[in-house]
Structure 1
């Protein structure tokens, strides 16, 4: 029996969504140690799996790797469509588990497009591979425009920058009881609309924040300046999505972000991907106060939900 474990990721936003620039997308995100995905696998005569999404990935993995079959079980899973990268982490964990259980090599970066992963953003693949805080290089605009190419017909964006997450940094996760984030056909339609009308100058402002504030804060280990930078990146990304999601942040995320931003122990807050997960940047000295701020934000908005704190993860998926 082989087990593969990996963690969630926060997606802070993209560098550029305008067709008027040479590079499109360019994801910014960070790997987390919790919540986690744990997938177990062992050889079998055919494909056996009770988890519907994992079964589909297992069938694809068996075909890609040329093996007879595999018995896959999902021992831990991320909440689906919550903005934490559940699809990519599960797909790659299954692929890696099937390969390890059947003595095959699996280059997840090369094979991710075959299972429909690593299309617009390369953050999920990069954090699965090596963890850390990641900026990917995006795609040439002429190659990857409003419509995503067919599965397998693209390459995962290269990692343009990666830094270790400082040991004392923490990430507050507030997950309201709300509708799932956009996914599938709805996500594709929304992204097409966003890209068709995205303002190029917004991307230019984001690029300046990333290069002059976010990356230096990472390199120097300043949680305060990093939090301020990612909040700015997220807010500017939200102006692109406002018409699609009902505001700079999707409801009820805006109220939660506003509340967290007022806390002196939360250095920056925002929406991860399509939400509904809200993140906050804090540090090891202020975990209890940050959790209280998260609970207060939910209470002020009269919304049920969960509050947790995660460390950054500076290694890739673990195979045991």
Structure 2
């Protein structure tokens, strides 16, 4: 029995608090996107078989925690790696879900994510996999923070503090500058611990005020312009914590892309997702084409080149289904696969990744 798991990317707008002076640490906020996406298929097998190195590692961990013999795992679609779209968590959880269901088991992703090394700091990726939409997680008690990284599986995924349906007519334009990938793994952990050691608690106080008085009312009330401005402000404040680690409020040259994109009247807020280099802009269906054009101009003016896509919000969790008697091929342009189109040609339709 072949099982297929499919999950969308996520945007990470930042954290509520990185200061050890407050009682709760982290507390991340973000949105799940419909595209790009990861698609993983799994069949029961006597051992682990997988050509994709990262998926193989997650499949081996999944087989171990599930107590099953093995699985044959194939990655049909994948997110761009380490660009700020949550590729690691979504691949890990999609692999876990596909392997578990192929063996007739409950994946229990929230409970098992730590054993795959995911959900230790931010809970947005796990919650997005579970239910999509806008997520604010509750963070961790600051008393649990340790100067050294915890052992894999020793933490709990942060609880969901707030979850909201994102209006269906909202769109997110994403620019992926053609620069070095963002930080991950041990490098990311070391950078985060350096930031936490020196984070200004006054910045956390301002962020918390913006989340409670601006971000949450805007997404609950469907005010796209207020939401875009608020999450962009949260991102800039987070950037003041990261400035020494990443070379500025935004990592160079991402800041140039953000500043150009935010000037577009089609975009109500722009920022860097996670460690970047992904840049997002908040727009709606009526202005999506203009927002995509603005993102292309921003990449061009920054001199980086790259890719641009427009995505709907994803207000549902990952789908896990049995694939009966057929082989699923790779989706085409409208389903999120890279489409190479010279500049000056048509703008990307929703879900396409357009090369600039």
Q: TM-score range by the shorter chain?
A: over 0.9
Give the corresponding residue for 1:72: 73
Paired residues of 1:202 and 1:236 also in contact (CA < 8 A): yes
**Aligned to 2:85, what secondary structure does the other structure show?**
coil
Shift of 1:147: 3.5
Paired residues of 1:137 and 1:160 also in contact (CA < 8 A): yes
Q: CA RMSD in A?
A: 0.7
Shift of 1:254: 0.3
Give the corresponding residue for 2:111: 110
2:13 corresponds to 1:12: yes
Note the 1:19-30 alignment, pairs <5 A: 19-30=20-31
2:95 corresponds to 1:94: yes
Distance 2:146 2:269 in 1: 31
**Residues 257-297 of structure 1: CA deviation (Å, up to 9, x unaligned):** 10011111110000000000000000011011001100110
The runs of 5 or more residues in structure 1 that have no matched partner are none
Distance 1:146 1:82 in 2: 26
Give the corresponding residue for 2:266: 265
Paired residues of 1:19 and 1:145 also in contact (CA < 8 A): no
2:191 corresponds to 1:194: no
Give the corresponding residue for 2:48: 47
**Aligned to 2:143, what secondary structure does the other structure show?**
coil
**Aligned to 2:31, what secondary structure does the other structure show?**
strand
2:38 corresponds to 1:32: no
Distance 2:110 2:304 in 1: 39
Distance 1:188 1:318 in 2: 30
Paired residues of 1:57 and 1:94 also in contact (CA < 8 A): yes
Shift of 1:148: 3.3
**Residues 25-73 of structure 1: CA deviation (Å, up to 9, x unaligned):** 0000000000000000001111000000000000011111011110000
**Residues 77-131 of structure 1: CA deviation (Å, up to 9, x unaligned):** 0011000000000000000000000111121000000011000100000000000
Paired residues of 1:119 and 1:148 also in contact (CA < 8 A): no
Distance 1:303 1:94 in 2: 33
**Aligned to 1:142, what secondary structure does the other structure show?**
helix
**Residues 143-162 of structure 1: CA deviation (Å, up to 9, x unaligned):** 12444321111110000000
**Aligned to 1:174, what secondary structure does the other structure show?**
strand
Paired residues of 1:146 and 1:191 also in contact (CA < 8 A): no
Paired residues of 1:214 and 1:226 also in contact (CA < 8 A): yes
Distance 1:118 1:303 in 2: 32
Paired residues of 1:11 and 1:27 also in contact (CA < 8 A): yes
Shift of 1:13: 0.1
2:313 corresponds to 1:318: no
Q: Give me the TM-score of the superposition, normalised by structure 1.
A: 0.99
Give the corresponding residue for 2:301: 300
The runs of 5 or more residues in structure 2 that have no matched partner are 322-356
Note the 1:202-221 alignment, pairs <5 A: 202-221=203-222
2:169 corresponds to 1:180: no
**Aligned to 1:244, what secondary structure does the other structure show?**
helix
Paired residues of 1:29 and 1:123 also in contact (CA < 8 A): yes
Q: Give me the TM-score of the superposition, normalised by structure 2.
A: 0.89
